[in-house]
Copies of this chain bind each other. A is one copy, B any other.
């Protein structure tokens, strides 16, 4: 990560480290407001937003296919590993989930077929499973 940021001409400052660390601790994508709160206000909101957009530009974090007007970010897949999401349709919480190798390679094959079917250059994919989390069930 440090290498990638250096190459992008971006400094890996205290605030940015905090944001990355918070995202790394999280078990799913997080919004700017959530990160601000989880850091106990240590990093001001405006800086969290700016950090996220800089880090996105450098390709070390990525926005998630979020629901309902807020953008949540996660550590980029090439750093954190490929995974999918369980989305609670009630409270909106999102949890990461990793598929066992077998299922993942099935899915990969399936996505390959899909891109062949359409005039679309596919770069990645994510399976979003909607349902009720344990709290809301």
Min CB distance, A40 to chain B, in Å?
A: 25
Asked if B120 and A134 sit within 8 Å, CB to CB, the answer is yes
Does A8 sit within 8 A of B, measured CB to CB?
no
Q: How large is the interface on A (under 10, 10 to 19, 20 to 34, 35 or more residues)?
A: 35 or more
Option from B63, B130, B134 in Cβ contact (under 8 Å) with A119:
B134
Closest chain B residue to A125, Cβ basis: B129
Option from B63, B99, B114, B129 in Cβ contact (under 8 Å) with A84:
B114
Task: Give A111 to B84 CA distance when docked, in angstroms.
Answer: 11
28 chain-A/chain-B pairs, Cβ below 8 angstroms: A65-B66, A65-B128, A68-B71, A69-B69, A86-B118, A86-B120, A86-B122, A95-B118, A100-B117, A103-B110, A103-B113, A103-B114, A110-B127, A115-B129, A115-B131, A120-B129, A120-B132, A120-B134, A121-B132, A122-B129, A122-B130, A123-B132, A124-B129, A125-B127, A125-B128, A126-B127, A126-B128, A127-B127
